[in-house]
Structure 1
């Protein structure tokens, strides 16, 4: 496997993958991934949670070697993953300097080369030309200004002396993203860059990615971003032959092609299962004829029995061979999400909040009243208090002013933004325990279509971020709430699951409240009432 990762001009930005395979603990994660992307290409990696999207980014970044296959990247890479590379005591300025290290290095090399050129040192011309080319490729002189622009546009903290430990998770990620958008790397590798962004930040990110002259490779649940940005889509979801798919023509073309392929897959699998059942029925019928005709009615001659039996035996053998030779070559398609039946609570207000505020977190008094079947979308900039309001409604946070009244018989489920699950327990153990504590009958974890059998029986600490998000959703739905409160529900969830969840939320008899920045989800719920904070 080759993996040259040295800096190169933006115009030479290039990414190529050929037959890439990666396994963890003997379990295949990536199987035969192929990709060619050049300057101006914007590649979206999509797929269900746990399908290897982040793993593929790590391979492209050079952080994880492929078990098999070739990896080539021309041009330095700016990487936005789910981990901030510095600690709580480091400052915003230290994070900016770290992310602009390539820029700082390019300018330092150019300054050194300029001095060598002025002194007439041998070979100085070539050294200066190479240093100048690298600085120009990064547009290094303007990098700090670009970072300042992105910090402002993303509503990120720009106080360079501020310790990172005093910032929220979202604030830290916005600072790092602003640095990457300004650093001028020929290749951008972005893992869920829209998390923690409000509408203005999403607009700025979209504009910067569309204008990026190099290669962009991103993993995102944000369907609006994918539709606005992606020129190519790598789909890591299961396919009928087990290989990833690469679609040109943008995200909309991918969605259409994937839907048609899924329909063909389901049809072919159903046809093969039906054929196998037909062969099994034929074998059963042949055995019945053998049993029924082996002993003819009383008075039938021996000759009739002797001539009939061998033919029946041959028919049974022939049908056994046909059934044994029939192979269901098309695997079953993955399960779809199945929303449990949530209850209604007719004729009563389930939850009422009047004039609630929380000091420093929810400044403007808010009134909310919910009955069964009600829908509400809570909007507002980062820091406006959306998460705070949902926590108050759920009873997890007491308001400083105002009152909250909840029906005693109403069950309320809250899906928060961050997961806080015990790492040693398995998903199945946590779900079954939640069901038992609620005292309510509900579907098994496997029936929801949220987690595959492998993930259901793994410790939570070993699950991907997306799989933990799916488990959080399952735990909320386990007790079949009358009121469902969802804080940024599309974070870390695949586009397919989001579409299925959105459709289910639109028809459930429970009351539903969503706080979101997701532009596509906002469009899909355009008919719902709005509460702007």
Structure 2
């Protein structure tokens, strides 16, 4: 066993995050960690990394087990170049290599008894060195940088000067180069394009170590994990499911159905037992009809026998009812009903957005040029291309946040553009959920609270929480609620499924698919893209090419 967690509990004030969590992680296990936003997934990873201390319980790693961690928010790595991070990440390999050389030198002068001990250790060290790719280090570095689409960056580039997506991928590359015994990933797919995603899936399939992965990407979970840990929103503990995400969904639905049936069956039994106790109690002493020969002894004898039988039946029913009430089947909690929807009316204009010979440069580099196109009132467009190619920049041009270096963009006068940025970092962390939601809206507080709760994204007790207290996923849900409240009739969505827990995704996807106006999406979520369909705009080789969408899952 690489990791053993026993009876782990963690609270923040009166809020319980984890309660009596226990599990084991073995070599070769690749585990998906799922649960609603704010349930404690990131907290659990921080506890496993000793970045926070549990209130109760223990975390025990096996001897010499090395752990690596990729947080959801990537550090800035100030003052470090890409090469610095690469060589820093290879520290364990360097130490293994040094130990191998030391053992080799010692074996040349050791006696027979000591030699046997040294050979055993040497075998363990060389095996570990080989498993971590020590014998083909240069090839491994190139493979990982190419796979994560980082090979175009100069290795002496300061990491703090990179974009957020580039920093995240450099952090992931450094972690993979370390090849620890256990890797802890918190949303590793957020900044990966489809090609890099598929590469990472293949890499993890061949990875000998264990992995614990928090991810919203259903296709990634299907291909990268062989078990699911679900953090229960109500019990605050973990339940284990064997298999990938599809197997988890199927088993969870079956468990839920069995739970509901057991609960209903027990409630029916309780009802029947109470009815029997009540009815039998009324008939004690009154259930025997006297004999016509007026034999008083016989009357008393048979009456007593009936009373004893009925009393015994009542006692048995009472004992059965007592045992049930001491350990009842709990009522299954109501399933989350997310009602994310847009009330917008369709656009009347037949041309919502018009591009005429549009081109854009960034830092002296031409991103694209000669874009001439029209976006209609029911358009469905997916922007694809490698990270850093200009997809988000095109959105900013439409929004007027940046100006084109060539050509012009016109937007229909009646267009109300709703924009969901890639990162949920536009919120004031000192404001409450309600204060942030009501910005720009007119209405009574009770009305706005009812509207926000009606989406199914937040509860009444969340209204006065500060944004800084929310998880990144909860902040994303608040951004979605704010987006819907603006009543847009055009949507620009930059990685809309990032950070959202799986219980919310399907409802939000349905809201996007059924939106009555044009929708432009940047996304690498293959499951979502299959549902979204429409037209694909690919940015590559300084051009924007257009074609009908094909299933990215084929």
TM range (shorter): 0.7 to 0.9
Q: Distance in 2 between matches of 1:247 and 1:159?
A: 43
**Which residue is 1:252 aligned to?**
246
The correspondence for 1:376, drawn from 372, 381, 385, is 381
Consecutive unaligned residues of structure 1, counting only runs of 5 or more, are: 1-12, 275-324
**Which residue is 1:68 aligned to?**
56
**Which residue is 2:187 aligned to?**
192
Greater Rg by CA: 2
What secondary structure sits across from 1:362 in the alignment? strand
Contact 1:87-1:165 within 8 A present in 2 as well: yes
Say whether 1:354 aligns with 2:356.
yes
- Partner deviation per Cα, 1:287-318 (whole Å, 9 max, x = no partner): xxxxxxxxxxxxxxxxxxxxxxxxxxxxxxxx
The correspondence for 2:454, drawn from 443, 447, 466, is 447
What secondary structure sits across from 1:436 in the alignment? coil
Taking structure 1 as the reference length, what is the TM-score of the superposition? 0.79
The change in CA–CA distance for 1:530 and 1:272 in structure 2 (over 3 A counts) is: farther
- Partner deviation per Cα, 1:383-436 (whole Å, 9 max, x = no partner): 221111122222222222222222222211111112222111112101111323
Q: Summarize the alignment of residues 259-274 of structure 1 with structure 2, pairs less than 5 Å apart.
A: 259-262=253-256
Offset at residue 55 of structure 1 (A): 1.5
Contact 1:377-1:515 within 8 A present in 2 as well: yes
**Which residue is 2:514 aligned to?**
507
Say whether 1:99 aligns with 2:89.
yes
Q: Summarize the alignment of residues 160-199 of structure 1 with structure 2, pairs less than 5 Å apart.
A: 160-199=155-194
Q: Summarize the alignment of residues 384-423 of structure 1 with structure 2, pairs less than 5 Å apart.
A: 384-418=389-423, 419-423=425-429
Contact 1:113-1:124 within 8 A present in 2 as well: no
What secondary structure sits across from 2:516 in the alignment? coil
Contact 1:394-1:413 within 8 A present in 2 as well: no
Contact 1:110-1:128 within 8 A present in 2 as well: no
Offset at residue 487 of structure 1 (A): 0.4
Say whether 1:529 aligns with 2:554.
no
**Which residue is 1:457 aligned to?**
464
**Which residue is 2:370 aligned to?**
365
Offset at residue 106 of structure 1 (A): 1.8
Say whether 1:43 aligns with 2:50.
no
What secondary structure sits across from 2:439 in the alignment? helix
Q: Distance in 2 between matches of 1:118 and 1:490?
A: 59
The correspondence for 1:28, drawn from 16, 38, 48, is 16
The change in CA–CA distance for 1:57 and 1:143 in structure 2 (over 3 A counts) is: farther
Q: Which moved more, 1:77-86 or 1:183-192?
A: 77-86
**Which residue is 1:466 aligned to?**
473
Contact 1:103-1:135 within 8 A present in 2 as well: no
Q: Distance in 2 between matches of 1:345 and 1:489?
A: 21
The change in CA–CA distance for 1:150 and 1:373 in structure 2 (over 3 A counts) is: same
**Which residue is 1:134 aligned to?**
125
What secondary structure sits across from 2:338 in the alignment? coil
Q: Distance in 2 between matches of 1:96 and 1:30?
A: 35
The change in CA–CA distance for 1:365 and 1:237 in structure 2 (over 3 A counts) is: farther
- Partner deviation per Cα, 1:194-239 (whole Å, 9 max, x = no partner): 1211122111100011111121111111111101111110111425
The change in CA–CA distance for 1:124 and 1:207 in structure 2 (over 3 A counts) is: same
The change in CA–CA distance for 1:355 and 1:452 in structure 2 (over 3 A counts) is: farther
- Partner deviation per Cα, 1:57-86 (whole Å, 9 max, x = no partner): 223334333322332333211211134456
Offset at residue 118 of structure 1 (A): 4.0
Consecutive unaligned residues of structure 2, counting only runs of 5 or more, are: 269-324, 540-554
The change in CA–CA distance for 1:86 and 1:481 in structure 2 (over 3 A counts) is: closer
Q: Distance in 2 between matches of 1:263 and 1:25?
A: 35
- Partner deviation per Cα, 1:347-370 (whole Å, 9 max, x = no partner): 313332333222136314334433
- Partner deviation per Cα, 1:331-356 (whole Å, 9 max, x = no partner): 64253221233312343133323332
Contact 1:30-1:52 within 8 A present in 2 as well: yes
Q: Distance in 1 between matches of 2:266 and 2:491?
A: 40
Say whether 1:213 aligns with 2:208.
yes
Q: Distance in 1 between matches of 2:27 and 2:249?
A: 24
Contact 2:18-2:236 within 8 A present in 1 as well: no
What secondary structure sits across from 1:378 in the alignment? strand
Contact 1:147-1:183 within 8 A present in 2 as well: no
**Which residue is 1:310 aligned to?**
none
Offset at residue 529 of structure 1 (A): 1.7
Contact 1:394-1:485 within 8 A present in 2 as well: no
What secondary structure sits across from 1:341 in the alignment? coil
Q: Distance in 2 between matches of 1:83 and 1:105?
A: 29
Q: Distance in 2 between matches of 1:402 and 1:203?
A: 36
Root mean square deviation, CA, Å: 3.2
Q: Distance in 1 between matches of 2:520 and 2:265?
A: 42
The correspondence for 1:148, drawn from 125, 142, 147, is 142
Q: Distance in 1 between matches of 2:386 and 2:522?
A: 11
The change in CA–CA distance for 1:273 and 1:168 in structure 2 (over 3 A counts) is: farther
Q: Which moved more, 1:15-24 or 1:148-157?
A: 15-24
What secondary structure sits across from 2:146 in the alignment? helix
